[in-house]
């Protein structure tokens, strides 16, 4: 049955098609890139916006949630740029190299590009595409995916950050990619970034996303990462979009022999948030950690899709996800560990836990194992429930007020993930952010 061919296209799908036709000739890149864009849009057009019959989107019906396709965001004015400098206050005190992407455009004027460490280059994607930089050959080549939201990103990608670390290069301080939306009207921004790490390179990268409250803007962002042999990457992504925003993010990471990858997602803000993490452990002896914390309230809807693929032998992966859901918010976690026949001696463990704080909060959890190699140790666990009433009572009997007891328990719950973050400053900032979230909680 050709069930995918639908006669009716939604208004948003039609608007996206119109928008692509209108802007494709103005988007950066040579003929090859243009062809890539067209192919990606065709992929999107053949299936449309993901809906609940698409297994990986079964809990987030984008066809119903994405009603409009707003115009592409335009460049920010001087006043907006000045405001952008104050973005991500939770990391304000932290020593970092800050790179700004405002309204979907890399802004070199306010970015810290001076005195780059040896072997390190940072540039804008638009520039790299325009100059046919050889690095852009990595685009779309890290991890294969036919995801429709990613296809939209490929079709529309306007700008982003291109980072390369040569063999042995090390960042002396964390790199903070600050993504900001400044416009108060509904806009759309499609950013695509690239991080290519040579043999033995090492980096800490923080990515933050934010924008104004009350604006129904849309962000579709993607990062492709190549972690070279023996390289080490710690990435923390903070999603703190405005309360009406729709945020879709895709991480595509390909990891080589003996490398180390630690990725943590911290999700606070946004109306609809979708984080896709597609990770391929392509070399032997990799140590990978994928983790996440979501703090959701109001009507927030957060969906994390994780697919870790073990391809080579002797790799270890740890997946740890914690989510706290209040009010009528909904959290979704779909995690899959796949172990190919070639990936003997894989050691993979995934744990996802949801804490529901209100009668109307919701949690959907789908931890999946797909195993084709016999000499493996794989497992997953998952729990859903409310706060442990006995623990709460115990704390209250020692004189701790109820609200505080709850806060302590919640902090301990998410602390299991936050405490594992390597960078001390980030760890402290996320701990504080959790505390603030708890204070603001009614």
Partner 1 sequence: MAAVQETVEQVRSIDVDQYKYGFETQIESEKAPKGLSEEVIRFISAKKEEPEWMLDLRLDAYRRWLSMSEPTWARVDFPQIDFQDLYYYSAPKKFKAPKSLDEVDPEILKTYEKLGIPLREQEILAGVEVPEGERPRIAVDAVFDSVSVATTFKEELKAAGVIFMPISEALREHPDLVKKYLGSVVPVTDNFYATLNSAVFSDGSFVYIPPGVRCPMELSTYFRINEKNTGQFERTLIIADKGSYVSYLEGCTAPQRDENQLHAAVVELVVLDDAEIKYSTVQNWYPGDSEGKGGIYNFVTKRGDCRGKNSKISWTQVETGSAITWKYPSCVLRGEGSSGEFYSIAISNGRQQVDSGTKMIHLGKNTTSRIISKGISAGRSNNTYRGLVSAHRKAEGARNFTNCDSLLIGNACGAHTVPYIEAKNPKAQFEHEATTSKISEDMLFYCMQRGLSQEDAVALVVNGFVRDVLQQLPMEFAVEAQKLISISLEGSVG
Site for partner 1, rule CB under 8 A: 1, 3, 55, 341, 344, 354, 356-386
Of residues 93 and 385, the one with the C-beta less far from partner 1: 385
Q: DSSP states of 357-371 as a string? A: -STT-EEEEEEEEEE
Of residues 2 and 31, the one with the C-beta less far from partner 1: 2
Count of Cβ atoms closer than 10 Å to residue 432 Cβ? 11
Of residues 95 and 368, the one with the C-beta less far from partner 1: 368
Q: What residue has token string 């540039």? A: 123
For residue 27, what is the DSSP state? S
Which residues lie across from 319 on neighbouring strands? 290, 350
Q: Is 230 left (phi over 0), alpha (psi -120 to 50) or beta?
A: left
Min. distance of Cβ 57 from partner 1 in angstroms?
Answer: 14
Of residues 241 and 331, the one with the C-beta less far from partner 1: 331
Min. distance of Cβ 279 from partner 1 in angstroms?
Answer: 19
C-alpha 394, offset from chain centre: 38
Min. distance of Cβ 297 from partner 1 in angstroms?
Answer: 14
Min. distance of Cβ 295 from partner 1 in angstroms?
Answer: 16
Query: Could you tell me which of 106, 94, 286, 282 has the C-alpha nearest to residue 180?
Result: 106
Min. distance of Cβ 133 from partner 1 in angstroms?
Answer: 41
Min. distance of Cβ 361 from partner 1 in angstroms?
Answer: 6
Of residues 340 and 427, the one with the C-beta less far from partner 1: 340
Min. distance of Cβ 302 from partner 1 in angstroms?
Answer: 15
Min. distance of Cβ 83 from partner 1 in angstroms?
Answer: 39
Of residues 71 and 385, the one with the C-beta less far from partner 1: 385
Of residues 240 and 343, the one with the C-beta less far from partner 1: 343
The beta-carbon contacts of 84-90 under 8 Å, at least 24 apart in sequence, are 84/110, 84/178, 84/180, 84/182, 85/110, 87/178, 87/180, 87/208, 87/210, 88/176, 88/178, 88/208, 88/210, 88/238, 88/240, 90/238, 90/429, 90/430, 90/432, 90/433
CA end-to-end distance (rounded Å), the chain? 50
The two tokens of residue 254 are 């390909």
Q: What is the distance between the alpha carbons of residues 37 and 39, in angstroms, rounded to a whole number?
A: 5
Q: What is the distance between the alpha carbons of residues 237 and 203, in angstroms, rounded to a whole number?
A: 14
Q: What is the distance between the alpha carbons of residues 421 and 419, in angstroms, rounded to a whole number?
A: 5
Of residues 93 and 379, the one with the C-beta less far from partner 1: 379
The 3-state DSSP class for residue 107 equals: strand
């Amino acid at each position: 049955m050709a069930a995918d061919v639908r006669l009716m296209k939604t208004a948003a799908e039609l608007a996206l098609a119109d928008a692509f036709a209108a802007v494709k000739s103005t988007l950066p890149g040579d003929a090859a890139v243009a062809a890539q864009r067209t192919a990606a849009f065709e992929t999107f057009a053949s299936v449309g916006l993901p809906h609940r019959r698409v297994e990986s989107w079964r809990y987030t019906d984008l066809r119903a949630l994405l009603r409009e396709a707003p115009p592409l965001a335009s460049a920010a004015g001087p006043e907006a740029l000045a405001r952008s400098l104050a973005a991500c206050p939770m990391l304000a005190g932290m020593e970092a190299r800050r790179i700004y992407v405002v309204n979907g455009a890399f802004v070199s004027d306010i970015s810290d590009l001076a005195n780059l460490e040896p072997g390190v280059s940072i540039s804008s994607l638009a520039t790299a595409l325009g100059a046919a930089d050889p690095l852009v050959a990595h685009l779309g080549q890290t991890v294969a995916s036919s995801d429709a939201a990613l296809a939209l990103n490929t079709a529309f990608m306007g700008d982003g950050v291109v980072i390369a670390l040569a063999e042995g290069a090390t960042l002396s301080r964390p790199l903070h990619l600050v993504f900001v939306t400044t416009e108060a009207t509904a806009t759309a921004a499609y950013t695509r970034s690239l991080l290519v790490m040579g043999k033995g390179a090492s980096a800490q990268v923080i990515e933050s996303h934010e924008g104004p409250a009350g604006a129904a803007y849309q962000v579709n962002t993607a990062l492709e990462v190549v972690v070279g042999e023996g390289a080490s990457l710690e990435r923390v992504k903070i999603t703190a979009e405005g309360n009406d925003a729709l945020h879709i993010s895709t991480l595509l990471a390909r990891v080589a022999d003996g490398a180390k990858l630690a990725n943590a997602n911290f999700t606070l803000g946004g109306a609809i948030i979708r984080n896709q993490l597609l990770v391929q452990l392509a070399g032997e002896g990799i140590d990978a950690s994928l983790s996440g914390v979501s703090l959701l309230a109001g009507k927030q809807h957060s969906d994390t899709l994780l697919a870790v693929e073990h391809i080579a032998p002797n790799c270890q992966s740890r997946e740890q996800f914690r989510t706290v859901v209040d009010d009528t918010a909904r959290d979704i976690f779909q995690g899959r560990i796949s172990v190919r026949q070639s990936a003997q001696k894989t050691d993979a463990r995934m744990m996802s836990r949801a804490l529901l704080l209100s009668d109307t909060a919701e949690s959907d959890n789908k931890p999946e194992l797909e195993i084709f190699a016999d000499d493996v140790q794989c497992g997953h666990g998952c729990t859903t429930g409310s706060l442990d009433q006995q623990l709460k009572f115990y704390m209250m009997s020692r004189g701790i007020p109820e609200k505080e007891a709850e806060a302590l328990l919640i902090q301990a719950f998410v602390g299991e993930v936050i405490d594992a973050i390597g960078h001390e400053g980030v760890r402290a900032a996320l701990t504080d952010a959790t505390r603030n979230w708890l204070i603001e909680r009614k």
